[in-house]
Amino acid sequence: QVQLVESGGGLVQAGGSLRLSCAASGRTLSNYVMGWFRQAPGKEREFQAAISGSGGSTYAADSVKGRFTISRDNAKNTVYLQMNNLKPEDTAVYYCAAKGVWRGLPTQQYDYWGQGTQVTVSS
C-alpha cells in the first residue's frame, strides 16, 4: 500500500504561483510513476502531468505545458507540481496518484490516490 498526502493548496490571485507537494509513505516512491490530476466543481477529474519513477521522463497535458512543471525528490518520497501564471479556470481540487507502469498516463487507471488539496485562483 502507498499512502499519498497532498499539501500546498490555497488561495492565490490570477498570475500567481503555487507549489503543490505530494508526500508518500508505505512504499519506496521511486518504484512508481506519479501523476497529478485536478477536478473542478461539476467537471470530471482531468490529467495534468506525470513523471517516471526516476524522474527522467515527464508528460504533461497540452493545457498546462509551459505553466505547470512536475518534479520529484525520491530521497524525500515527495512529488511536486509547480504551477505558474495561475488562472481562475485552474481552480480545482488537485490530486496526486501513483501507478506501477509508464503507460496510460492520462487515464484514471492509477493504483493509489491522495485525498486532494484545494486550489482557488481569484480574478
For residue range 61-120, list pLDDT tens digits in order. 999 999 999 999 999 999 999 999 999 999 999 999 999 988 888 888 999 999 999 999
With the C-alpha atoms ordered 94, 99, 103, 109, is the resulting torsion angle positive or negative? negative
CA 48 remoteness from chain centre: 7
pLDDT range class, residue 57, cuts 50, 70, 90 = very high
